[in-house]
Amino acid sequence: MNFPLKQPSQIALIVSLALGLSACNDTQATVSTSAAKVEKIDSAAAIEFINQAEADLANLNIEANRAEWIYSNFITDDTAALSAAMGEKVTSTSVRYATEAAKYAHVELDAVNARKLNSLRSSLVLPAPLDPAKNAELASIVSELNGLYGKGKYCFADGRCLTQPELSNLMAESKDPAVLLEAWQGWREIAKPMRPLFEREVELANEGAKDLGYADLSELWRSQYDMEPDAFSAELDRLWAQIKPLYDSLHCYVRGELNEQYGDEVAPKTGPIPAHLLGNMWAQQWGTIYNSVAPEDADPGYNVTELLAQNGYDEIKMVKQAEGFFTSLGFGALPDSFWTRSMFVQPQDRDVVCHASAWDLDNLDDIRIKMCIQKNAEDFTVIHHELGHNFYQRAYKNQPFIFKNSANDGFHEAIGDTIALSITPKYLQKIGLLDSVPDASKDIGLLLKQALDKVAFMPFGLMIDQWRWQVFNGTIKPEQYNQAWWDLREKYQGVKAPIARSEADFDPGAKYHVPGNVPYTRYFLAHVLQFQFHKALCDIAGDTGPVHRCSIYGNEAAGAKLNEMLEMGASQPWPEALNVITGTKQMDAKAVLDYFAPLQVWLDEQNTEANRQCGW
């Protein structure tokens, strides 16, 4: 494991110079002593700045959370305006503090303050240049890119104009390759106007990153992982190399099944899979084609949605049960305010944002969820996931404000998903939803369904920022944007565009996180970490069975170890947090392979029996 090399402090350089020259005359020593005093003053000034910035940002965060909560739950022109104004205030304040933090980058500080200073300096996703005119230009571009995506629609010849969620639903449900192709191609038309805006945005943000002391935006983004940026990139390559054989087996099987369904003209037996056939607008998760590729005897014999209905589960009871998972591990119950202030059901009298989310309004105990719960299996899992965020937020509430976050940005997503991995038949039986646990013969179907979402996602989760980082550092030139995108899609995913694409297109812009400037590597990390956490917690719980059948429900030893890590927040480098649960400071994708081991054996058998040529 490689950690950041500390820059030589000004005081260290001055003292070494003084020692080397002290035999010459006393004047040099006097000069170095004065410089050392300046350094001490700089250290005191840096700490004073950190304390002030932390206090200001803590107060601003509460104000911003409340404004955003009100907007998300009462969508009007007025609340939108208030939310936007608050967003501008947060951005300008964060930029100001990041810029000032850069001035103290080489000051010698204690470990805690050095960590806080680095966080202030590196936490900006899109740093604005110091030039006010360029700052305003960047803000305008960000707004315009978001608007182009948010207002995007595609109109079919029959007059139907569909939004992105509606087009995604169509791609999940249709099996007509012509319809799938039209929806796939149509959505990507909305991204073409983004191209010159994105190119200019990169120029401006790179300038902002340089103002903060980074070579480019790629270095800034990769500097947030307690490692040298290049070492972090190498770590990602290592993790992907572990996962790739499992992904190759899944890819080979799915491609073969699609070939049988669609024929050689639409879904060739060899080479990359055409992207429009995988049930998802971006071919990032393949779960919606499960019924097309599932083995004949895959039915586990139960349906969670039906079980919830049979046992009288309404929206509140679903949340209560998810809370019960955490209290069974030894966590305290959710506060009364959670139940009175959260949103569980879509209101009929106003517009709201229904996308499921977890909130921490006051950096202490005012935790909430906001979602329009549907009484089905998917939302039962989502609720467990969202409460994972809430219990994490409450666990680190006693940390200083800057450390009130996850150990790295992959940890927060991973914790919710770790809990969701324990929603096994064994768990469903323990809480009275299932009479008996199906035998192991039903495991392949359950594992295949998981793999189509989780394993299929991993190369996509990795490649988006692989593309962006190379754009930021100039390896990918503007005239290569689209070709490089598809080169990486093929390299990592074995997926290709179903029709010819050119540099008149800007297909990266059809994925929200690119025009929305949301870093994506966190999702790849979360998909690795959740399995590593799950395996380690199952070991702590003393479960000696197959890890995919394990649930830590009811095990307080596992809960205590989990809470110990959660309480750390971002106060320590992430390897220290990882070590608390797993006993190692290195991320390891072997747990992914362990979890899906029976499936990989089965996939390889199917591919061999069908004489499939794997790879692309």
Q: Which has the higher per-residue pLDDT, 379 or 350? A: 379
Q: What is the pLDDT at residue 263?
A: 96
In one-letter notation, the amino acid at residue 239 is L
CB atoms within 10 A of CB 154: 21
Q: What is the pLDDT of residues 87-144, one digit of tens each?
A: 778 878 888 898 899 889 889 999 999 999 999 988 889 988 888 888 889 888 888 8
| 563 pLDDT more than 90 | yes
Helical H segments across 10-76, by residue range: 10-21, 26-73
Of the listed 385, 412, 527, 534, which one is catalytic? 385
179 within 8 A of 170, measured Cβ to Cβ = yes
Q: What is the pLDDT of residues 173-191, one digit of tens each?
A: 999 999 999 999 999 999 9
Q: What is the pLDDT at residue 297?
A: 80
| 6 pLDDT more than 90 | no
Q: What is the pLDDT at residue 23?
A: 31
Of the listed 355, 500, 504, 609, which one is catalytic? 355
Of the listed 35, 356, 597, 610, which one is catalytic? 356
The sign of the CA dihedral 130, 131, 134, 140 is positive
Of the listed 54, 207, 219, 386, which one is catalytic? 386
Nearest of 181, 174, 149 to residue 163 by alpha carbon: 149
Q: What is the pLDDT at residue 41?
A: 58
Instruction: Report CA-CA distances (Å) from 246 to 12, 253, 492, 536.
Output: 50, 11, 13, 21
356 is catalytic: yes
Q: What is the pLDDT at residue 83?
A: 82
Residue with tokens 């572990």: 242
166 within 8 A of 452, measured Cβ to Cβ = no
Q: What is the pLDDT at residue 296?
A: 84
User: Can you spell out the DSSP letters for 332-383?
Assistant: PPPPHHHHHH-B-S--SSS----S-EEEESSSSS-EEEE----SSHHHHHHH
User: pLDDT tier at 81 (50, 70, 90 boundaries)?
Assistant: confident
| Mean pLDDT calculated for residue range 142-151 | 85
555 within 8 A of 541, measured Cβ to Cβ = yes
Residues 183, 336: Cα–Cα separation, whole Å: 46
| Mean pLDDT calculated for residue range 515-525 | 93
| 3 pLDDT more than 50 | no
Q: What is the pLDDT of residues 462-473, one digit of tens each?
A: 999 999 999 999
389 is catalytic: yes
566 contacts: CB under 8 Å, gap ≥ 6: 391, 392, 395, 396, 415
Q: What is the pLDDT at residue 15?
A: 26
Q: What is the pLDDT at residue 40?
A: 56
Q: At what angle do helices 164-173 and 177-188 cross, to 10 degrees?
A: 160
In one-letter notation, the amino acid at residue 594 is D
285 DSSP assignment: -
| 4 pLDDT more than 60 | no
Q: What is the pLDDT of residues 392-442, one digit of tens each?
A: 999 999 999 999 999 999 999 899 899 999 999 999 999 999 999 988 888
Instruction: Report CA-CA distances (Å) from 196 to 141, 329, 506.
Output: 10, 52, 10
Residue with tokens 């995913």: 493
| Mean pLDDT calculated for residue range 213-229 | 94
Q: What is the pLDDT at residue 472?
A: 97
368 DSSP assignment: E
Domain boundaries, the chain: 10-123, 304-437+522-598
Residues 493, 149: Cα–Cα separation, whole Å: 24
**3-state secondary structure (DSSP) of residue 449:** helix
438 DSSP assignment: P
In one-letter notation, the amino acid at residue 135 is N
User: pLDDT tier at 239 (50, 70, 90 boundaries)?
Assistant: very high
Q: What is the pLDDT at residue 5?
A: 28
Nearest of 611, 543, 609, 600 to residue 251 by alpha carbon: 600
In one-letter notation, the amino acid at residue 312 is G
Of the listed 201, 207, 323, 413, which one is catalytic? 413
Tokens found for residue 285 = 């998760």
Q: What is the pLDDT at residue 380?
A: 93
* Phi, psi (deg, nearest 5) at residue 154: -130, 130
Nearest of 421, 367, 356 to residue 394 by alpha carbon: 367
Residues 447, 443: Cα–Cα separation, whole Å: 6
In one-letter notation, the amino acid at residue 162 is L
Residues 568, 483: Cα–Cα separation, whole Å: 43
CB atoms within 10 A of CB 297: 9
523 is catalytic: yes
Tokens found for residue 488 = 């990486």
100 is catalytic: no
| 610 pLDDT more than 90 | yes
Residues 473, 605: Cα–Cα separation, whole Å: 43
Tokens found for residue 50 = 């950190």
| 24 pLDDT more than 50 | no
Q: What is the pLDDT of residues 573-585, one digit of tens each?
A: 999 999 999 999 9
Buried b (16+ CB within 10 A) or exposed e, 1-36: eeeeeeeebbbeebbeebeeeeeeeeebeeebeebe
The sign of the CA dihedral 7, 11, 12, 18 is positive
Q: What predicted TM-score, i.e. pTM, was given to this entire model?
A: 0.88
CB atoms within 10 A of CB 447: 22
489 within 8 A of 496, measured Cβ to Cβ = yes
Whole-number CA gyration radius for the chain: 26
Of the listed 389, 527, 534, 548, which one is catalytic? 389
Residues 465, 222: Cα–Cα separation, whole Å: 10
Q: Which has the higher per-residue pLDDT, 240 or 87? A: 240
Beta strands in 111-168 (DSSP E): 153-155, 161-163
User: pLDDT tier at 478 (50, 70, 90 boundaries)?
Assistant: very high
513 is catalytic: yes
Of the listed 189, 513, 556, 567, which one is catalytic? 513
Q: What is the pLDDT at residue 292?
A: 93
384 within 8 A of 79, measured Cβ to Cβ = no
Instruction: Report CA-CA distances (Å) from 272 to 52, 473, 483, 487.
Output: 54, 28, 15, 11
In one-letter notation, the amino acid at residue 67 is A
Of the listed 104, 481, 523, 595, which one is catalytic? 523
Residues 575, 182: Cα–Cα separation, whole Å: 46
Least confident window among 97-101, 256-260, 307-311: 97-101
The mean predicted confidence, pLDDT, of the chain is 89
| HEC profile of 41-54 | HHHHHHHHHHHHHH
| 535 pLDDT more than 90 | yes
| 16 pLDDT more than 70 | no
CB atoms within 10 A of CB 134: 16
Residues 492, 460: Cα–Cα separation, whole Å: 7
Q: What is the pLDDT at residue 10?
A: 28
